[in-house]
């Protein structure tokens, strides 16, 4: 790709998560979104440390542990071995907080409603009497969900507000999503911008972090067995085969295992120590991707003492093997002046060099030599279609670091990087929309982009813990964790929690103010969760919402709202929704009676999904009869089918298919079959005898006369 020749006539980019069932975010930019901003004069002597702080994207990559990035995180409960915070490091109040939360989850696992109530009472005391912000956050969650507490959105908002003021980021996320749903973008954007910054600070410096989205545990009506099978961690057969190959010396297998441990993928717990061991073994065999991640580990101090010199050495080795993403890490180290002293610039001697190294002042050296080299490394990565290279060049042009400041060119680089799935590029574009720099100010779009980045923050660990619980059969704990994520605005968590409620009923440990939820309460909660998921583009959720209104499940029957939900699902090319809309037009339910529109929707359903051929054929036959024989007996029979079918189905399920009756029916059918064949055999024998007698008479008959 030639830089400077990127066009802006129509720009489409999407962030494609690694999870197969996660939904891409698509943003379309037109020429009107672009602002005509003149490029600033050349600023090759600009110091990045003097740039406005909101654009300091070459800041130190944050290597704080998760419990510091996400205060009040439940990681000490779900990953006690990996948590940096031990009981000895906690003050008594936080010990009490974690003890109460752990007690609540343990009681949910064991189905002990009374113990859950006791744990919630302890959390409430911490929140109300001692003012613990993290306990307030949990209490806000329980009021919002209606778990043990009476469902009260006002109280939930109030507790989250005070928890957010106390520094709880998950409460800030819950508040941001509340504002976002109400289209109060000016309030939502402030919170999402802060959360997105925390998320970006947790990303890697040398390459793109894998976008770990929550796994969708269902594919509609059924459990998503293929995806779940790949998330069983060390118990997965594929992982065990991979581990065997690694132990036999396969460098590629070593890298993959290290990669899974480093990022906590495929159901494995994050373990930097194990990752370091496997990466080191693979690097000894010349595996370049392992070298790059070793450079990342030493640069961030992830499980080891931070060492920029070693980081640069490993990144350089990886780059020499044409792993172009490693150039990004090298460029970063040169921009910051980390690990490049003395060794890489040994020619710089004398008093001037001594002053540089002794005082740490890098101005002359940094911009005379390091910045051009960093730019060269970024260009090498970009020329080989590496998204990180485009992103880093965008930052340099945006800030005027060693190049002429050019906001439009920076925007181009960010869009190319975002198109390749670089999350930091989405963050930059969100800020450009937010501030009106390079792009026309659009708070709604900026908020959506900030939300997208924020959802990749450290609180995303909730999805891993929920999936682990589900795979272990601890459905109640999984439901509670997915519900927490649903409150934070994760669409997949909303649909997962709703599906668990519908699928597992009482096993979901859905609890109201007075014990386990009734069927009606579960339907209402599932309905609310499906509705939130449908608002965020889940067509299956919209379809289920339509069914709920059409059949009156968990809510009052409302054909017009059912049609509205089906329309929403239809806009996302859902064949079932199209069929349902055709049926409603055919019968005038919630939509005008219009046979032509009905046929159009039936035809569209068949175009989208070939499996709809049989129901569409039957529906078109019904439509033909209705059109040509209006008011006839056949039309009345067709109209009565929806009422008759459930009765027949219920009779079959409750009478015929009941265990004892089914066996009796099977024996009766077998008896009839035996009797039928015996009767057939009896009829065949006399017939054969008659034929034999007739043939015998023919043998003795007189010859025919000529």
* pLDDT tens digits, one per residue of 299-329: 888 888 889 999 999 999 999 999 988 998 8
Say if residue 654's pLDDT is above 80: no
Say if residue 439's pLDDT is above 80: yes
Cα torsion 100, 105, 106, 112: sign: positive
Query: Nearest Cα to 538, choosing from 571, 504, 505?
Result: 571
Please give the helix or strand (H or E) that residue 52 lies within, else none: none
Quote the pLDDT of residue 144. Answer: 95
The arithmetic mean of pLDDT across residues 83-95, rounded, is 68
The arithmetic mean of pLDDT across residues 496-520, rounded, is 89
Q: Write the CA distances from 336 to 355, 356, 407, 440, integer angstroms.
A: 17, 14, 22, 31
Whole-model pTM? 0.78
Instruction: Determine the Cα–Cα distance for residues 66 and 70; give it in Å rounded to an integer.
Output: 6
Contact 215, 231 (CB under 8 A): yes
The arithmetic mean of pLDDT across residues 99-111, rounded, is 95
Say if residue 116's pLDDT is above 90: yes
At CA 588, angle to CA 583 and CA 589, rounded to 5?
Answer: 75
Say if residue 698's pLDDT is above 80: no
CATH no. for 225-343+362-458: 1.25.40.10
The arithmetic mean of pLDDT across residues 226-230, rounded, is 77
Say if residue 564's pLDDT is above 70: yes
Q: Give me the chain's average pLDDT, please.
A: 80
Alpha helices in 360-442, H assignment, sequence order: 363-365, 371-383, 387-399, 407-419, 423-435
Most confident of 155-164, 318-327, 355-364, 597-606: 155-164
Tokens, residue 484: 């927490």
% of the chain beyond a pLDDT of 90:
43
Say if residue 490's pLDDT is above 90: yes
CATH 1.25.40.10 in the chain is located at 225-343+362-458
Say if residue 47's pLDDT is above 50: no
Quote the pLDDT of residue 695. Answer: 54
Look at 178 and 204; give whichever has higher pLDDT. Answer: 178
Of 1.25.40, 2.60.120, 2.30.30, 1.10.20, the CATH number of 66-83+90-202 is: 1.25.40
Helix axes 326-336, 387-399, angle to 10 degrees: 30
Model confidence at 93, pLDDT cuts 50, 70, 90, reads very high
Instruction: Determine the Cα–Cα distance for residues 161 and 140; give it in Å rounded to an integer.
Output: 9
Say if residue 587's pLDDT is above 70: yes
Q: Which residues does 688 contact at the CB level (< 8 Å), separation at least 6? A: none
Say if residue 472's pLDDT is above 80: yes
Q: Which residues does 206 contact at the CB level (< 8 Å), separation at least 6? A: 292, 295, 296, 299, 315, 325, 326, 328, 329, 330, 332, 388
Quote the pLDDT of residue 16. Answer: 33
Look at 165 and 232; give whichever has higher pLDDT. Answer: 165
**pLDDT tens digits, one per residue of 253-301:** 999 999 988 887 877 878 889 999 999 999 999 999 999 999 989 988 8
């Amino acid at each position: 790709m030639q830089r400077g020749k990127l066009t802006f006539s129509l720009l489409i980019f999407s962030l494609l998560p690694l999870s197969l069932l996660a939904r891409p975010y698509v943003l379309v930019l037109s020429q009107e979104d672009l602002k005509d901003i003149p490029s600033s004069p050349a600023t090759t002597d600009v110091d990045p440390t003097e740039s406005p702080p909101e654009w300091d994207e070459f800041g130190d990559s944050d290597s704080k542990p998760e419990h510091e990035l996400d205060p009040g995180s439940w990681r000490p409960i779900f990953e006690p071995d990996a948590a940096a915070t031990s009981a000895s490091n906690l003050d008594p109040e936080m010990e009490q907080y974690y003890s109460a939360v752990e007690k609540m989850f343990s009681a949910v696992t064991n189905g002990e409603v009374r113990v859950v109530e006791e744990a919630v009472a302890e959390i409430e005391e911490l929140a109300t009497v001692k003012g613990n912000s993290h306990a307030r956050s949990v209490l806000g969650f329980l009021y919002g969900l209606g778990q043990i507490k009476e469902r009260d959105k006002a109280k939930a908002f109030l507790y989250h507000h005070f928890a957010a003021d106390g520094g709880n980021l998950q409460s800030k996320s819950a508040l941001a999503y509340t504002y976002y749903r109400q289209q109060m973008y000016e309030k939502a954007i402030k919170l999402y911008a802060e959360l997105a910054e925390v998320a970006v600070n947790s990303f890697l410096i040398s390459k793109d972090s894998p976008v770990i989205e929550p796994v969708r545990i269902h594919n509609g009506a059924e459990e998503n067995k293929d995806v779940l099978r790949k998330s069983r961690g060390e118990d997965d057969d594929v992982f065990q085969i991979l581990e065997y190959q690694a132990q036999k010396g396969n460098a590629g297998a070593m890298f993959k295992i290290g990669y899974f441990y480093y990022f906590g993928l495929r159901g494995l717990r994050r373990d930097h120590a194990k990752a370091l061991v496997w990466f080191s073994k693979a690097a000894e065999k010349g595996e370049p991707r392992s070298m790059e991640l070793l450079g990342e580990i030493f640069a961030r101090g992830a499980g080891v003492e931070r060492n920029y010199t070693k980081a640069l050495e490993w990144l350089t080795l990886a780059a020499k093997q044409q792993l172009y993403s490693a150039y990004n890490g090298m460029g970063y180290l040169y921009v910051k002046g980390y690990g490049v002293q003395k060794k890489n610039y040994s020619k710089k001697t004398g008093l001037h060099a001594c002053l540089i190294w002794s005082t740490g002042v890098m101005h002359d050296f940094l911009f005379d030599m390091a910045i051009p080299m960093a730019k060269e490394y970024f260009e090498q990565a970009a020329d080989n279609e590496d998204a990180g290279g485009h992103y880093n060049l965008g930052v340099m042009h945006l800030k005027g670091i060693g190049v002429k400041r050019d906001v439009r060119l920076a925007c181009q680089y960010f869009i190319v990087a975002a198109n390749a799935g670089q999350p930091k590029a989405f963050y930059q574009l969100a800020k450009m929309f937010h501030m009106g720099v390079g792009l026309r100010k659009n708070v709604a779009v900026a908020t959506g982009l900030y939300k997208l980045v924020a959802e990749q923050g450290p609180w995303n660990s909730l999805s891993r813990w929920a999936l682990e619980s589900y795979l272990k059969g601890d459905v109640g704990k999984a439901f509670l964790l997915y519900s927490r994520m649903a409150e934070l605005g994760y669409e997949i968590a909303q649909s997962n929690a709703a599906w668990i409620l519908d699928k597992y009923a009482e096993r979901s440990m859905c609890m109201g103010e007075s014990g386990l939820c009734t069927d009606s309460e579960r339907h209402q909660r599932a309905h609310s969760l499906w509705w939130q998921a449908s608002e965020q583009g889940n067509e299956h959720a919209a379809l289920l919402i339509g069914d709920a209104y059409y059949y009156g499940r968990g809510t009052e029957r409302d054909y017009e709202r059912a049609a509205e939900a089906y329309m929403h699902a239809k806009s996302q090319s859902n064949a079932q929704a199209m069929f349902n809309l055709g049926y409603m037009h055919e019968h005038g339910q919630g939509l005008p009676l219009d046979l032509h529109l009905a046929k159009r929707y039936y035809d569209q359903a068949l175009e989208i999904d070939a499996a709809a051929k049989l129901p569409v054929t039957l529906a078109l036959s019904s439509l033909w009869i209705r059109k040509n024989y209006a008011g006839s007996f056949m039309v009345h029979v067709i109209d009565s089918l929806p009422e008759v079918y459930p009765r027949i189905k219920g009779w079959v399920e409750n009478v015929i298919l009941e265990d004892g009756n089914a066996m009796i029916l099977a024996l009766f059918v077998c008896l009839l079959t035996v009797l039928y064949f015996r009767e057939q055999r009896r009829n065949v024998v006399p017939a054969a005898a008659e034929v034999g007698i007739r043939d015998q008479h023919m043998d003795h008959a007189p010859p025919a006369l000529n």
